[in-house]
Structure 1
Amino acid sequence: MSEPSSSNSETSDEIIVISRRAAPGEVDEAYETAVKNLDKFMSAAFVQAEEALDHSEVPVGCVFVHDGDIIGSGRNNVNESRDPTLHAEIVAITEIMNHCQTHDLDPAKIFAESTLYVNLEPCMMCASALQQLKIPRIFFGAVNDRFGGIFSVGNVFDYESDPPKMDIVRGFMGGKAVELLQRFYQNSNMRAPPEKRVVKVQNRETK
Protein backbone atom coordinates (compact mmCIF):
# COMPACT_ATOMS: atom_id res chain seq x y z
CA MET A 1 0.00 0.00 0.00
CA SER A 2 1.16 3.53 -0.70
CA GLU A 3 1.52 5.18 2.66
CA PRO A 4 1.20 8.85 3.62
CA SER A 5 4.22 10.71 4.83
CA SER A 6 4.68 11.76 8.43
CA SER A 7 7.88 13.76 8.00
CA ASN A 8 6.43 16.79 6.26
CA SER A 9 2.83 16.73 7.49
CA GLU A 10 1.73 19.81 9.36
CA THR A 11 1.62 19.36 13.11
CA SER A 12 -0.33 22.52 13.87
CA ASP A 13 -3.86 22.21 15.23
CA GLU A 14 -4.85 25.49 13.62
CA ILE A 15 -8.27 25.14 12.03
CA ILE A 16 -8.35 26.37 8.44
CA VAL A 17 -11.46 26.62 6.29
CA ILE A 18 -10.60 25.53 2.75
CA SER A 19 -14.03 26.05 1.21
CA ARG A 20 -17.61 26.85 2.19
CA ARG A 21 -20.89 25.94 0.55
CA ALA A 22 -22.75 28.94 1.93
CA ALA A 23 -22.21 32.47 0.73
CA PRO A 24 -20.57 34.93 3.17
CA GLY A 25 -23.10 35.96 5.79
CA GLU A 26 -25.54 33.22 4.85
CA VAL A 27 -26.90 31.16 7.75
CA ASP A 28 -25.95 27.47 7.51
CA GLU A 29 -27.28 25.58 10.51
CA ALA A 30 -25.95 22.22 9.34
CA TYR A 31 -22.42 23.59 9.14
CA GLU A 32 -22.68 25.33 12.50
CA THR A 33 -23.89 22.10 14.10
CA ALA A 34 -21.04 20.17 12.50
CA VAL A 35 -18.50 22.63 13.89
CA LYS A 36 -20.12 22.50 17.33
CA ASN A 37 -19.75 18.71 17.39
CA LEU A 38 -16.23 18.72 15.96
CA ASP A 39 -14.50 17.50 19.12
CA LYS A 40 -17.04 14.72 19.75
CA PHE A 41 -17.00 13.21 16.30
CA MET A 42 -13.34 13.76 15.47
CA SER A 43 -12.55 11.93 18.71
CA ALA A 44 -14.72 9.07 17.46
CA ALA A 45 -12.72 9.05 14.22
CA PHE A 46 -9.52 8.79 16.25
CA VAL A 47 -10.89 5.74 18.06
CA GLN A 48 -11.07 4.08 14.65
CA ALA A 49 -7.58 5.29 13.77
CA GLU A 50 -6.14 3.90 17.00
CA GLU A 51 -7.79 0.56 16.24
CA ALA A 52 -6.17 0.60 12.81
CA LEU A 53 -2.79 1.20 14.42
CA ASP A 54 -3.38 -1.68 16.84
CA HIS A 55 -3.85 -3.92 13.79
CA SER A 56 -0.67 -2.69 12.06
CA GLU A 57 -2.67 -0.64 9.57
CA VAL A 58 -1.95 2.94 8.54
CA PRO A 59 -3.78 4.81 11.35
CA VAL A 60 -6.67 6.43 9.53
CA GLY A 61 -10.21 6.36 10.88
CA CYS A 62 -13.43 8.16 10.11
CA VAL A 63 -17.09 8.53 10.97
CA PHE A 64 -20.04 9.75 8.94
CA VAL A 65 -22.68 11.66 10.89
CA HIS A 66 -26.32 12.12 9.88
CA ASP A 67 -28.87 14.00 12.00
CA GLY A 68 -26.47 14.01 14.94
CA ASP A 69 -25.79 10.26 14.91
CA ILE A 70 -22.89 8.21 13.59
CA ILE A 71 -24.30 6.19 10.70
CA GLY A 72 -21.04 4.68 9.51
CA SER A 73 -17.48 4.30 10.75
CA GLY A 74 -14.36 2.79 9.33
CA ARG A 75 -10.64 2.29 9.67
CA ASN A 76 -7.96 1.26 7.24
CA ASN A 77 -8.21 -2.46 6.53
CA VAL A 78 -5.79 -2.78 3.65
CA ASN A 79 -3.22 -5.14 5.15
CA GLU A 80 -5.60 -7.52 6.92
CA SER A 81 -7.86 -7.83 3.89
CA ARG A 82 -5.05 -7.56 1.34
CA ASP A 83 -7.37 -5.24 -0.54
CA PRO A 84 -5.70 -1.91 -1.43
CA THR A 85 -9.06 -0.16 -1.79
CA LEU A 86 -10.24 -0.70 1.77
CA HIS A 87 -9.35 2.71 3.13
CA ALA A 88 -11.27 3.99 6.15
CA GLU A 89 -13.68 6.07 4.09
CA ILE A 90 -14.51 3.21 1.71
CA VAL A 91 -15.14 0.85 4.64
CA ALA A 92 -17.54 3.37 6.19
CA ILE A 93 -19.29 4.08 2.89
CA THR A 94 -19.87 0.36 2.36
CA GLU A 95 -21.33 0.08 5.86
CA ILE A 96 -23.75 2.93 5.14
CA MET A 97 -24.77 1.47 1.78
CA ASN A 98 -25.56 -1.85 3.44
CA HIS A 99 -27.53 -0.08 6.18
CA CYS A 100 -29.57 1.83 3.61
CA GLN A 101 -30.32 -1.32 1.67
CA THR A 102 -31.42 -3.18 4.80
CA HIS A 103 -33.69 -0.35 5.98
CA ASP A 104 -34.98 0.70 2.54
CA LEU A 105 -33.37 4.14 2.72
CA ASP A 106 -32.20 6.30 -0.16
CA PRO A 107 -28.39 6.34 0.13
CA ALA A 108 -28.08 9.39 -2.13
CA LYS A 109 -30.24 11.40 0.25
CA ILE A 110 -28.42 10.13 3.33
CA PHE A 111 -24.96 10.94 1.96
CA ALA A 112 -26.08 14.36 0.74
CA GLU A 113 -27.11 15.23 4.31
CA SER A 114 -24.08 13.77 6.12
CA THR A 115 -20.81 15.07 7.52
CA LEU A 116 -17.49 13.22 7.34
CA TYR A 117 -14.93 13.49 10.14
CA VAL A 118 -11.57 11.85 9.36
CA ASN A 119 -8.20 12.23 11.04
CA LEU A 120 -6.16 12.44 7.81
CA GLU A 121 -6.85 14.17 4.50
CA PRO A 122 -8.54 11.62 2.20
CA CYS A 123 -6.49 10.29 -0.69
CA MET A 124 -7.48 10.98 -4.30
CA MET A 125 -9.48 7.75 -4.58
CA CYS A 126 -11.49 8.50 -1.46
CA ALA A 127 -11.86 12.20 -2.23
CA SER A 128 -13.27 11.36 -5.64
CA ALA A 129 -15.75 8.94 -4.06
CA LEU A 130 -16.81 11.58 -1.53
CA GLN A 131 -17.39 14.07 -4.32
CA GLN A 132 -19.45 11.60 -6.36
CA LEU A 133 -21.58 10.90 -3.28
CA LYS A 134 -22.01 14.67 -2.84
CA ILE A 135 -20.85 14.68 0.78
CA PRO A 136 -21.51 18.31 1.79
CA ARG A 137 -19.12 18.63 4.74
CA ILE A 138 -15.64 17.19 5.33
CA PHE A 139 -13.52 17.83 8.42
CA PHE A 140 -10.03 16.33 8.49
CA GLY A 141 -7.11 16.60 10.88
CA ALA A 142 -3.68 16.38 9.25
CA VAL A 143 -2.68 17.14 5.71
CA ASN A 144 -1.69 14.11 3.60
CA ASP A 145 1.23 15.67 1.77
CA ARG A 146 1.99 12.63 -0.38
CA PHE A 147 -1.43 11.38 -1.45
CA GLY A 148 -3.94 13.99 -0.28
CA GLY A 149 -6.88 14.24 -2.64
CA ILE A 150 -8.63 17.28 -1.20
CA PHE A 151 -6.03 19.93 -1.97
CA SER A 152 -2.50 18.78 -1.08
CA VAL A 153 -1.75 16.72 -4.20
CA GLY A 154 -5.05 16.31 -6.00
CA ASN A 155 -7.81 18.91 -5.90
CA VAL A 156 -11.28 17.59 -5.11
CA PHE A 157 -12.84 20.30 -7.25
CA ASP A 158 -10.99 19.09 -10.36
CA TYR A 159 -12.42 15.57 -10.44
CA GLU A 160 -15.71 16.52 -12.11
CA SER A 161 -16.60 19.16 -14.67
CA ASP A 162 -19.35 20.54 -12.43
CA PRO A 163 -18.24 19.72 -8.86
CA PRO A 164 -20.69 20.12 -5.99
CA LYS A 165 -20.04 22.76 -3.37
CA MET A 166 -18.51 21.38 -0.17
CA ASP A 167 -17.60 22.62 3.28
CA ILE A 168 -13.99 21.55 3.82
CA VAL A 169 -12.17 22.30 7.07
CA ARG A 170 -8.76 21.03 8.10
CA GLY A 171 -6.44 21.16 11.09
CA PHE A 172 -8.49 20.09 14.10
CA MET A 173 -6.42 17.54 16.07
CA GLY A 174 -3.93 17.52 13.21
CA GLY A 175 -0.98 17.14 15.57
CA LYS A 176 -2.46 13.99 17.04
CA ALA A 177 -2.97 12.55 13.57
CA VAL A 178 0.69 13.12 12.73
CA GLU A 179 1.72 11.50 16.02
CA LEU A 180 -0.24 8.37 15.09
CA LEU A 181 1.50 8.24 11.72
CA GLN A 182 4.88 8.57 13.42
CA ARG A 183 4.02 5.72 15.78
CA PHE A 184 3.06 3.60 12.79
CA TYR A 185 6.38 4.20 11.05
CA GLN A 186 8.32 3.60 14.25
CA ASN A 187 6.61 0.25 14.68
CA SER A 188 6.92 -0.44 10.94
CA ASN A 189 4.44 -2.33 8.85
CA MET A 190 4.72 -5.88 10.16
CA ARG A 191 3.44 -7.38 6.90
CA ALA A 192 6.24 -5.75 4.92
CA PRO A 193 9.32 -7.86 4.09
CA PRO A 194 12.14 -7.33 6.61
CA GLU A 195 14.42 -5.73 4.02
CA LYS A 196 11.77 -3.10 3.25
CA ARG A 197 11.28 -2.35 6.93
CA VAL A 198 15.00 -1.63 7.19
CA VAL A 199 14.80 0.74 4.21
CA LYS A 200 12.00 2.69 5.90
CA VAL A 201 14.06 3.10 9.07
CA GLN A 202 17.12 4.19 7.09
CA ASN A 203 15.06 6.72 5.15
CA ARG A 204 13.73 8.24 8.34
CA GLU A 205 17.21 8.47 9.82
CA THR A 206 18.59 10.32 6.79
CA LYS A 207 15.86 12.98 6.77
Structure 2
Amino acid sequence: MDTAENKGTDAGIFHFAFQAREALENIEVPVGCLMVFNNEVVGKGRNEVNQTKNATRHAEMVAIDQALDWCRHSGKNSSEVFEHTVLYVTVEPCIMCAAALRLIKIPLVVYGCQNERFGGCGSVLDIASADLPNTGRPFRVT
Protein backbone atom coordinates (compact mmCIF):
# COMPACT_ATOMS: atom_id res chain seq x y z
CA MET A 1 0.00 0.00 0.00
CA ASP A 2 1.49 3.33 1.08
CA THR A 3 4.69 4.14 2.89
CA ALA A 4 4.01 6.47 5.81
CA GLU A 5 5.40 9.98 5.52
CA ASN A 6 7.56 11.13 8.45
CA LYS A 7 8.15 7.51 9.40
CA GLY A 8 7.71 6.78 13.07
CA THR A 9 5.88 9.99 13.96
CA ASP A 10 2.27 10.16 15.01
CA ALA A 11 1.87 13.47 13.17
CA GLY A 12 3.10 11.92 9.93
CA ILE A 13 0.76 8.97 10.26
CA PHE A 14 -2.25 11.13 11.17
CA HIS A 15 -1.77 12.96 7.86
CA PHE A 16 -3.12 9.83 6.17
CA ALA A 17 -5.84 9.15 8.74
CA PHE A 18 -8.06 11.95 7.64
CA GLN A 19 -10.20 9.73 5.53
CA ALA A 20 -12.80 11.04 7.92
CA ARG A 21 -13.42 13.87 5.49
CA GLU A 22 -14.17 11.39 2.73
CA ALA A 23 -16.57 9.59 5.07
CA LEU A 24 -18.36 12.85 5.85
CA GLU A 25 -18.60 13.71 2.16
CA ASN A 26 -20.29 10.32 1.68
CA ILE A 27 -22.86 11.01 4.43
CA GLU A 28 -21.12 8.78 6.96
CA VAL A 29 -20.00 9.38 10.52
CA PRO A 30 -16.61 11.06 9.91
CA VAL A 31 -14.12 8.48 11.15
CA GLY A 32 -10.96 7.46 9.34
CA CYS A 33 -8.08 5.20 10.30
CA LEU A 34 -4.83 3.53 9.25
CA MET A 35 -3.13 0.30 10.23
CA VAL A 36 0.66 0.64 10.08
CA PHE A 37 3.06 -2.32 10.08
CA ASN A 38 6.81 -1.64 9.83
CA ASN A 39 6.14 1.94 8.68
CA GLU A 40 3.89 0.71 5.87
CA VAL A 41 0.17 1.37 5.68
CA VAL A 42 -1.33 -2.11 5.35
CA GLY A 43 -4.95 -1.12 5.89
CA LYS A 44 -6.96 2.05 5.81
CA GLY A 45 -10.61 2.70 6.27
CA ARG A 46 -13.42 5.11 6.70
CA ASN A 47 -16.93 4.48 7.92
CA GLU A 48 -19.04 2.76 5.24
CA VAL A 49 -22.12 1.94 7.32
CA ASN A 50 -24.67 3.96 5.34
CA GLN A 51 -23.12 3.24 1.98
CA THR A 52 -23.14 -0.55 2.50
CA LYS A 53 -26.25 -0.73 4.73
CA ASN A 54 -24.08 -2.80 7.08
CA ALA A 55 -23.78 -1.58 10.67
CA THR A 56 -20.43 -3.35 11.16
CA ARG A 57 -18.56 -1.43 8.45
CA HIS A 58 -16.80 0.96 10.80
CA ALA A 59 -13.48 2.41 9.66
CA GLU A 60 -11.52 0.00 11.87
CA MET A 61 -13.31 -3.06 10.46
CA VAL A 62 -12.69 -1.87 6.89
CA ALA A 63 -9.00 -1.39 7.73
CA ILE A 64 -8.79 -4.86 9.32
CA ASP A 65 -10.22 -6.39 6.13
CA GLN A 66 -7.69 -4.49 4.01
CA ALA A 67 -4.85 -5.60 6.28
CA LEU A 68 -6.01 -9.22 5.97
CA ASP A 69 -6.00 -8.84 2.16
CA TRP A 70 -2.51 -7.30 2.36
CA CYS A 71 -1.30 -10.28 4.41
CA ARG A 72 -2.73 -12.77 1.90
CA HIS A 73 -1.14 -10.97 -1.07
CA SER A 74 2.19 -10.53 0.75
CA GLY A 75 2.38 -14.09 2.04
CA LYS A 76 2.48 -12.84 5.64
CA ASN A 77 0.93 -14.45 8.70
CA SER A 78 -1.87 -12.09 9.77
CA SER A 79 -1.46 -12.94 13.47
CA GLU A 80 2.22 -11.96 13.37
CA VAL A 81 1.45 -8.79 11.41
CA PHE A 82 -1.35 -7.64 13.73
CA GLU A 83 0.83 -8.20 16.81
CA HIS A 84 3.22 -5.55 15.41
CA THR A 85 0.68 -3.15 13.88
CA VAL A 86 -0.40 0.24 15.22
CA LEU A 87 -3.88 1.59 14.57
CA TYR A 88 -4.20 5.35 14.08
CA VAL A 89 -7.81 6.51 14.17
CA THR A 90 -9.46 9.91 14.35
CA VAL A 91 -11.96 8.88 17.07
CA GLU A 92 -11.75 6.40 19.96
CA PRO A 93 -12.89 2.99 18.70
CA CYS A 94 -16.39 1.93 19.71
CA ILE A 95 -16.98 -1.08 21.92
CA MET A 96 -17.39 -3.44 18.93
CA CYS A 97 -14.20 -2.25 17.26
CA ALA A 98 -12.21 -2.25 20.51
CA ALA A 99 -13.24 -5.88 21.04
CA ALA A 100 -12.17 -6.78 17.49
CA LEU A 101 -8.82 -5.02 17.96
CA ARG A 102 -8.29 -6.91 21.20
CA LEU A 103 -9.08 -10.25 19.52
CA ILE A 104 -6.54 -9.67 16.75
CA LYS A 105 -3.96 -8.56 19.36
CA ILE A 106 -3.20 -5.05 18.15
CA PRO A 107 -0.65 -3.69 20.67
CA LEU A 108 -1.31 0.06 20.32
CA VAL A 109 -4.19 2.32 19.31
CA VAL A 110 -3.60 6.05 18.85
CA TYR A 111 -6.79 8.10 18.58
CA GLY A 112 -7.57 11.76 18.10
CA CYS A 113 -10.57 12.31 20.38
CA GLN A 114 -12.81 10.46 22.80
CA ASN A 115 -16.05 8.79 21.76
CA GLU A 116 -18.30 9.75 24.66
CA ARG A 117 -21.30 7.81 23.30
CA PHE A 118 -19.79 4.48 22.29
CA GLY A 119 -16.11 4.54 23.30
CA GLY A 120 -14.56 1.16 23.97
CA CYS A 121 -11.17 2.40 25.18
CA GLY A 122 -12.24 4.07 28.40
CA SER A 123 -14.86 6.71 27.62
CA VAL A 124 -17.82 4.34 28.05
CA LEU A 125 -16.24 0.91 28.62
CA ASP A 126 -12.58 -0.01 28.84
CA ILE A 127 -12.38 -3.01 26.56
CA ALA A 128 -8.76 -2.08 25.79
CA SER A 129 -7.35 -2.94 29.22
CA ALA A 130 -10.14 -4.77 31.07
CA ASP A 131 -9.47 -8.18 32.58
CA LEU A 132 -11.59 -10.21 30.15
CA PRO A 133 -10.81 -13.93 29.90
CA ASN A 134 -10.49 -15.55 26.47
CA THR A 135 -10.86 -12.26 24.60
CA GLY A 136 -7.47 -11.67 23.07
CA ARG A 137 -4.91 -9.37 24.59
CA PRO A 138 -5.24 -5.92 26.19
CA PHE A 139 -3.76 -3.05 24.16
CA ARG A 140 -2.27 0.33 24.96
CA VAL A 141 -4.15 3.49 24.07
CA THR A 142 -2.75 6.99 23.53
Query: TM-score if structure 1 supplies the norm length?
Result: 0.62
What residue ranges of structure 2 are gaps of 5+ in the alignment?
Answer: 1-5
User: What 5-or-longer segments of structure 1 have no aligned partner?
Assistant: 1-32, 170-207
Q: Which has the higher strand share?
A: 2
**Contact preservation (8 Å) 2:20, 2:31:** yes
Q: Secondary structure at 1:99's aligned position in 2?
A: helix
Matched, 1:50 2:27: no
Q: Distance in 1 between matches of 2:85 and 2:131?
A: 20
The alignment status of 1:97 with 2:97, answered yes or no, reads no
Contact 2:130 2:138 in 1 (8 A): no
Per the alignment, residue 30 of structure 2 pairs with 59
Q: Is the 8 A contact 2:24 2:30 kept in 1?
A: yes
Q: Does the residue aligned with 2:27 lie in a helix, a strand or coil?
A: coil
Residue of 2, 13, 17 corresponding to 1:41: 13
Q: Post-superposition shift, 1:98?
A: 1.5
**Contact 2:43–2:66 under 8 Å retained in 1:** yes
How far, CA to CA, are the matches of 1:78 and 1:72 in structure 2?
18
Is structure 2 residue 130 aligned with structure 1 residue 158? yes
> How many residues matched?
135
Determine the C-alpha separation between the residues in 2 that align with 1:86 and 1:164: 23
Q: Which protein shows a greater Rg?
A: 1
Find the aligned partners of 2:73 and 2:79 in 1 and give their Cα distance.
15
Residue correspondence of structure 1 range 15-164 to structure 2 within 5 A: 36-46=8-18, 48-156=19-127, 157-158=129-130, 160-161=132-133, 164=137
1:158 aligned counterpart, secondary structure: coil
The farther-off stretch of 157-166 and 142-151 is 157-166
The structure that is helix-richer by fraction is 1
- Determine if the alignment matches structure 1 residue 168 to structure 2 residue 141: yes
CA contact (8 A) 2:94 2:121 kept: yes
Compare relative contact order (CA 8 Å, sep 6+) and give the higher one, 1 or 2. Answer: 1
1:160 counterpart SS class: coil
How far residue 138 of structure 1 moved from its aligned partner, in angstroms, is 0.6
Q: How far apart are residue 99 of structure 1 and its match? A: 1.7
Structure 1: distance between partners of 2:11 and 2:54: 31
Cα RMSD over matched residues?
1.8
User: Distance in 1 between the 2:30 and 2:123 partners?
Assistant: 19
**Conservation of the 8 A alpha-carbon contact between 1:124 and 1:149:** yes
Question: Which runs of at least 4 in structure 1 moved beyond 6 Å after TM superposition?
Answer: none
